Chains A and B, each alone.
Chain A
């Protein structure tokens, strides 16, 4: 791999790292696992990067790799990432910031989403990222109709979690 490719990749990822962080905080519950998953996604992105052609947007391509890594490839390991500079990352779950009623509602909702299964989370994540159903369907490998059906079921599930 040549230097130019490395530089291009790292710059792209640096600019779009939010996507990966959002996936990580949705699929993990503590800082170490968050970092661990971020690293694995980065490795997978890098490994797949030579085949990435500019015809899709880098961020669109990232969604797929990041979610696939979180859902399928990642194994929760007990081993901790010990790199010092990486430990210094300021980590906050956004939901902790909410106080008043509406904010409280948001927090509850976010927690409800975190209780969903792997696949459901992926659908909600793409939905929150404002992806349309055709893109959601394509990312997961299901039909568009089924993506809609599934999303409706997830909404019901969330309702049950919120109002038991």
Chain B
């Protein structure tokens, strides 16, 4: 391709026209704060960790504490707390490990891969928490419905012509509500991801495509 060769020959000549920064200008720059995508990812990830930690340890306690069933519920709540604590610790460790490995002196492909991997850890963490949160809600609902049903609700259901249908409707209502929040959450992540990682993912795919 002739034009490219032409440009190549001419390429070094452009140097006289490039800006020239002084020693002092460069010196000042090294103390400025980076606004790189890795920094953004780091801060956002820390926020996500903090958010779910706070949420996991919010004191949501029910008042039913007697009978065999209540014991089972109590145990489930306990188990969920212990598991979530362990998993949070595991994810923080994994996140930190991945984050430390990100190095600007890697090849472009490795650098992108490591950034994506770091983000993936946080994503897994978030989805784990969403799952756990949903489980907790269900446990809470079962608890309320079985051991301490609101009087109004029980009366309405028993006065309905078909009891099973009424329960089914309640079930559907909760399923829809959970799905609605799930979609909302998913959308939020799509946007956040889109802003942050769209270009990176595109570039990574392009490099990866070459290796097939």
A residues contacting B by CB (< 8 A) are 6, 9-11, 13-14, 17-18, 21-22, 25, 34, 38-40, 42-44, 46-48, 51-52, 61, 64-65, 67-69, 71-75, 77, 79, 83, 85-86, 89-92, 94, 97, 102, 105-106, 108-110, 113, 117-119, 122, 124, 127-130, 138-143, 146, 149-150, 155, 158-159, 162
Contact = CB atoms under 8 A, between A and B. Distances in A.
Contact of A75 (B25, B40, B105): B40
Nearest to B7: A109
B1 interface: yes
B105 A65 contact: yes
Given A72-B111, A118-B203, A109 B26 contact: no
Interface stretch (B12-20, B65-73, B129-137, B162-170): B12-20
Given A69-B104, A72-B115, A140-B109, A85 B3 contact: no
B34 interface: yes
B21 interface: yes
A85 B32 contact: no
A103 B145 CA distance: 81
21 contacts: A10-B26, A11-B23, A40-B34, A42-B26, A43-B33, A48-B105, A68-B106, A72-B108, A72-B112, A72-B200, A75-B36, A85-B28, A86-B25, A89-B21, A97-B17, A105-B3, A109-B7, A113-B7, A142-B210, A150-B210, A158-B1
Interface in B1-47: 1, 3-4, 6-8, 10-11, 14-15, 17-30, 32-38, 40
Contacts of B40: 75
Interface of B: 1, 3-4, 6-8, 10-11, 14-15, 17-30, 32-38, 40, 103-112, 115, 199-200, 202-203, 206-207, 210-211
A5 to B, nearest CB: 10
Contacts of B3: 105-106, 108-109, 158, 162
A129 B21 contact: no
A61 B103 CA distance: 13
Contact of A44 (B19, B34, B109, B206): B34
Contact of A6 (B11, B25, B30, B108): B30
